[in-house]
Structure 1
Amino acid sequence: MRSIHALTLSLLAFAPAAFAQDPATTVERPAGSDMVEAQTTASGKHFAVVGGIALLQPKNNAVEGVVQKADGGPAPTVSFSYYINDNIAIELWGAADKFHHRARGVEGTRLGTVEQQPVALSGQYHFGHADNVFRPFLGAGYYQSNFSNEKLTVPAAPVGHLGLKTAEGFIGTVGVDMDINSTWFARADARYLHSRPEVTLDGLQVGTRAKLDPWTVGFGIGARF
């Protein structure tokens, strides 16, 4: 009995040393362990997609003496981003459907409706670490916005169909992402589009540009992968 007791004590004393990890020894991780670790952090993920809705509001007095006000309109939006690293990204953003606007002239005269659908390519800088709960960002790039279904008339003109050619130019973005977890996040952003499309009257250019310069305010949900 004493010999068994002595052997048991010897094994208990040896066990911690036997199972201690040698610092110089490389331990092979089970298959899939890297995937579990990767899911606990947003760092290192290169792609993101965001779906949401935005309100686009043109400025007042867009065509001096003709279009005094254009109502803002909502539309669904989507964006795809490629992250070069945790801070620098390239974003393709656009309206998934058309923004609808009603135009009014002098003293609130109804001129009709017009639709537009912008798309933009921008570079962005995201501040802070990829796993911060709140991450503000800034962006700048180039956009185009196609106008369609123009049902605009100018009552005082002998020929009255007013049209707009495609707008293009600078777009600036400011926004913030709020992490839900390492994959999902919520986004709020505002975008400024420098929009000066040429005005046409019954399809003919009249040498005038509309000063729309709209802002968009958007909210969405995104995923990283």
Structure 2
Amino acid sequence: MKKTMLTAAAAFAALAVPAAAHAGSAEGKIQVKLLATGVLPDGDISRINNPGVLALPANAALAANPHTYASDNVVPTVAIEYFFTPNVSVETICCVTKHHVNGAGSLATTNLVNNISIIPATVTVKYHAPLGPIKPYLGVGPTLFLVLDSEPGATAATFSSTTKLSSEAGVVVQAGVDVPLGSSGYALSLDAKKYWVSTNARWYNAAGVEQLSTRHKLDPWVLSAGVAYRF
């Protein structure tokens, strides 16, 4: 009986060690965030690569005519962060966001691209100011916008059967604050990111011939709020 009790106690201790190692702590090495994120892209045309169906010169510098804009979206986001020191960490995020691009200016009322799916693969190095329990931070890093899918909008479908947006790299800066809820490891988190990244949009007819190519500024603001858990 005594041997059985000792065996059970040893098993319980073995299970308890990992549990203790993963207990919440406001000073833990790992932090996971679950956020609601608003993605607010620009989407404006910055250059005509191939005018195709537009009566404009190639590589035209655009002023008032024509313009486009990308729709906003709200998506769930997961962020994972590792603290090298109490003040320096690295963070990556995971989400998929969808948008469409419509015309403005001389292209007003047109629908050019629909169902653009993007993964904004992002890594930032963050500095957390040592200001007590409330932890404001600044961050900077690279990003890669992976465009998974897109299709011609209703207007573009009159001259195109497919459209492709290029996946491209850029940079991001961020600022935010984590507000711990006691010492349990939970916190409220507010975060703002500004991205600088562009994409080439190309429209093709059924024979695979390019009908139009434009350069677009995506350059989104990405605003997040949610809960964090640190351990």
Q: Normalising by structure 2, what TM-score?
A: 0.70
The reply on whether 1:100 has 2:82 as its aligned counterpart is no
Aligned twin of 1:201: 203
Aligned twin of 1:120: 122
State the shift of 1:60 in Å: 5.0
State the shift of 1:141 in Å: 0.5
Distance 1:181 1:51 in 2: 18
Q: Indicate the percent of aligned positions where both proteins have the same amino acid.
A: 23
Segments of 5+ residues of structure 2 without an aligned counterpart are: 1-15, 47-61
Aligned twin of 1:164: 165
Greater RCO (Cα-Cα under 8 Å, separation 6 or more) = 2
Give the 3 Å change call, closer, same or farther, for CA 81–184 of structure 1 in structure 2. Answer: same
Aligned twin of 2:218: 212
Contact 1:140–1:173 at 8 Å: present in 2 too?
yes
State the shift of 1:42 in Å: 2.3
- Give per-residue Cα distances to partners, 1:146-205, cap 9 Å, x unaligned: 123312245497446432110211111111111112210011111111111222222759
Aligned twin of 2:26: 42
Contact 1:51–1:78 at 8 Å: present in 2 too?
yes
Report how many aligned residue pairs link the two structures: 187
Distance 2:97 2:45 in 1: 16
Aligned twin of 1:144: 144
Letter in 2 for 1:42: A
State the shift of 1:137 in Å: 0.5
**Given the alignment, which residue of 20, 44, 54 partners 1:61?**
44
Distance 2:24 2:203 in 1: 58
Aligned twin of 2:88: 88
Distance 1:108 1:207 in 2: 19
Segments of 5+ residues of structure 1 without an aligned counterpart are: 1-31
Aligned twin of 2:11: none
DSSP-derived class of the 1:86 partner? coil
* Superposition RMSD in Å: 3.0
- Give per-residue Cα distances to partners, 1:76-124, cap 9 Å, x unaligned: 11111110111000111121xx212122112222224122121111100
Hey, which of these two has a bigger chunk of strand by percent?
Answer: 2
Letter in 2 for 1:214: P
